[in-house]
Amino acid sequence: MKPYVISNVGMSLDGKLATVTGDSRISCEEDLIRVHKIRAKVDAIMVGIGTVLKDDPRLTVHKIKADKNPIRIVVDSKLRIPLNARVLNNEAKTIIATTEKADKEKMKLLKERGVEVIVCGRDKVDLKELMKILYNKGIRSILLEGGGTLNWGMFKEGLVDEVSVYIAPMIFGGKDAVSYVDGEGFKTVEEAVKLKLKKFYRLGEGIVLEYVVLR
Ligand SMILES: NC(=O)c1ccc[n+]([C@@H]2O[C@H](COP(=O)([O-])OP(=O)(O)OC[C@H]3O[C@@H](n4cnc5c(N)ncnc54)[C@H](OP(=O)(O)O)[C@@H]3O)[C@@H](O)[C@H]2O)c1
């Protein structure tokens, strides 16, 4: 058993999550509110360490009124997370998923600060195993908020159930700009993750597309 995973991003029309310099201010105010409404409904929000290092997000619900914040999960094989990262503040519980390679001293420091550290995997976090562990902790729904490398890991392992994307009317270009799903990519169309469109609508200047992942 695993939690139900919703992948959400804001991207440019050419599928980029940020420009080549890492500028990721893509969402309009209406979209931020949409995302915070999803955050308020799920048990947890998950990001990769790349996103924490680049954007230093709080990953809380602060654009709308909500009773509680979801648990924040950071996927970080080597515990590269800075101790002053905003995702470690006391606004919500934080879980860091790491590996046997992680520095034990840093792990101790994080635990002392009330952060839960889950060790699963040798070099890279074993995402399938992580999903099982999180489910057993009572986490039934996760909003996956990227970035492109973690998105690939989750799609490749077949762990995503639903997709919602906000497409801003912008073109970023740049072969090194992070895209919605990076990693090695599937080799054939046959292997690709297939989706079924459920809903689409205009939001601000952009559009929102919602899909379910077909198995
Ligand atoms: N527009 C949007 O909606 C949006 C949303 C999120 C992020 N972003 C942008 O995306 C960029 C960050 O994306 P990113 O691709 O560089 O980083 P990322 O996906 O946030 O994090 C990737 C890192 O996660 C760690 N990881 C551990 N186990 C993994 C596994 N099994 N599979 C995949 N990753 C694993 C790896 O680092 P270790 O090996 O050190 O563990 C990997 O490099 C930023 O520019 C951010 O602004 C945009």
For the CA atoms of the chain, what is the radius of gyration? 17
Beta strands of 145-184 (E only): which ranges?
A: 162-168
Neighbouring C-alpha atoms within 13 Å toward the C-beta of 194: 6
Superfamily of domain 9-213, CATH level 4: Dihydrofolate Reductase, subunit A (3.40.430.10)
SS3 153: helix
* Main-chain dihedrals φ then ψ at residue 88, nearest 5 degrees: -95, 5
CA of 201 to the centre of ligand 1 (A): 28
pLDDT of residue 152: 98
| Domain-wise residue ranges, the chain | 9-213
Strand-strand pairing, 44-48 and 94-98: unpaired
pLDDT in tens, 116-165: 999 999 999 999 999 999 999 999 999 999 999 999 999 999 999 999 99
Reply yes or no: is the peptide bond before residue 147 cis, omega within 30 of 0: yes
pLDDT of residue 132: 98
Strand-strand pairing, 195-203 and 206-213: antiparallel
CA nearest neighbour of 69 among 77, 60, 78, 57: 60
pLDDT in tens, 58-113: 999 999 999 999 999 999 999 999 999 999 999 999 999 999 999 999 999 999 99
SS (H, E, C) 97-119: EECCCCCHHHHHHHHHCCCEEEE
pLDDT of residue 207: 98
Strand-strand pairing, 44-48 and 71-75: parallel
Binding pocket residue ranges, ligand 1, CB within 6 Å: 9-11, 17-18, 22, 24, 26, 47-51, 54-55, 75-78, 80, 124-125, 127, 145-150, 153, 178, 182
| Rounded Cα–Cα distance for residues 78 and 56 (Å) | 17
CA nearest neighbour of 162 among 17, 1, 38: 38
What's the CA angle centered on 133, arms 148 and 41, to 5 degrees? 65
CA of 53 to the centre of ligand 1 (A): 9
